[in-house]
Amino acid sequence: MILKTSLLLAFALALSAVAAERPPALSPARTMAEAGMVDVRTLSSGLAEDMKYAGTDNFTGAAVDGYRSPKFFLIMHAAEALARVEAALHGQGYALRVWDCYRPARAVAAFVRWASDLSDTSTKAAHYPNLGKDALLGEYIAPVSGHSRGATVDLTLMHCASGRCEPLDMGTGFDFFDPLAHTADPRITAAQKANRERLLKAMAAEGFTNYPQEWWHFSLPAATPPVIYDVPVE
């Protein structure tokens, strides 16, 4: 009886593991409206943007499939929460600069193709100087991204004075594939640590959680849908 119970338990755990690894379903939505997405700038005009994947200044070195315009979208609840973060920071003399929000599934597939091409190392110096490109797939570039659910954002913090806003020193740039980009990496300076913690605190106030391996990456679990989307950004 004990053996039978143990086998049943092992089988149940195996099924749970398979279910946990199963990728989310692809939504049939074909427009931003159908996906429930909103242009974040319509809710917060103070947000600055530098949408990396719509241009060539990113780790692939080229505009990424799915980004037809440098706009940034999130599902409504996440967009509203981000707008509240921006408003609170504005009152403290700070602002946000957004690098990426909703990411079409086709863009994630383009990342995987890029990572699989080991002959192209043109962006190594800027984005992965201490790693071989063969180390990026899986650890840093996954076949499914939370960004495709519409409740994840990549951003940094700026200090504003005399009408100008300048990015704070966070210790690394965006999409720097290295442990130094881990939010709590012990090698960063006291000032860089304080800057990361200020961003963490501001985002956490509205329910965003940080991905510990990337100081710039935040998701809103309470608003994250169970599906991924592939609507182009345009």
**Average pLDDT by consecutive 10-residue portion of the chain (234 residues)?**
39 38 87 96 90 98 97 96 97 97 98 97 98 94 96 98 94 98 98 98 98 97 94 96
pLDDT of residue 223: 87
Phi, psi for 107 (deg, rounded to 5): -70, -40
The CATH architecture of the domain made up of 23-228 is 2-Layer Sandwich (3.30)
* Cα–Cα distance, 11 to 15 (Å, whole number): 6
Residue 92 per-residue DSSP state: T
Q: What angle do CA 136, 228, 44 make, to 5 degrees?
A: 95
Q: Is 214 among the residues known to form the active site?
A: yes
pLDDT of residue 163: 87
pLDDT of residue 63: 98
Out of 49, 86, 206, 214, the active site residue is: 214
For 62, counting Cβ atoms within 10 Å of its Cβ (0-12 exposed, 13-18 middle, 19+ buried), the class is middle
* Cα–Cα distance, 21 to 43 (Å, whole number): 35
Report pTM.
Answer: 0.89
* Cα–Cα distance, 66 to 84 (Å, whole number): 28
CB 203 within 8 A of CB 210: yes
